[in-house]
Amino acid sequence: ECKNSKQCAPAKHHFDDCVDRVTNATDAHGENCVEEFFHLAHCATACAAPKVWSALK
């Protein structure tokens, strides 16, 4: 839910672009999408945290 939110759209776009680029690469540049993944994960966590904490109160 959060990874597809408007708030996380830029991070998801960069991650998806990176995955496409790495998946379709013909030669190994050693590139991976770890940085893009962590940006997306951080955004999703920031989005989900208030929902989780409000449910626990």
Confidence at 25, pLDDT banded by 50, 70, 90: confident
Give residue 11's pLDDT: 96
Q: What is each CA distance from 56 to 16, 49, 51, 52, 53, in whole angstroms?
A: 32, 11, 9, 6, 5
Tokens 């960069």 sit on residue: 14
Give residue 20's pLDDT: 94
Percent of all residues in the chain with a pLDDT value above 70, rounded to a whole number: 96
Give residue 28's pLDDT: 62
- In this structure, are residues 45 and 31 in contact, taking their beta carbons and an 8 Å threshold? no
Q: Report the predicted TM-score, pTM, of the whole model to 2 decimal places.
A: 0.79
**CA-to-CA distance for 37 and 31, rounded, in angstroms?**
13
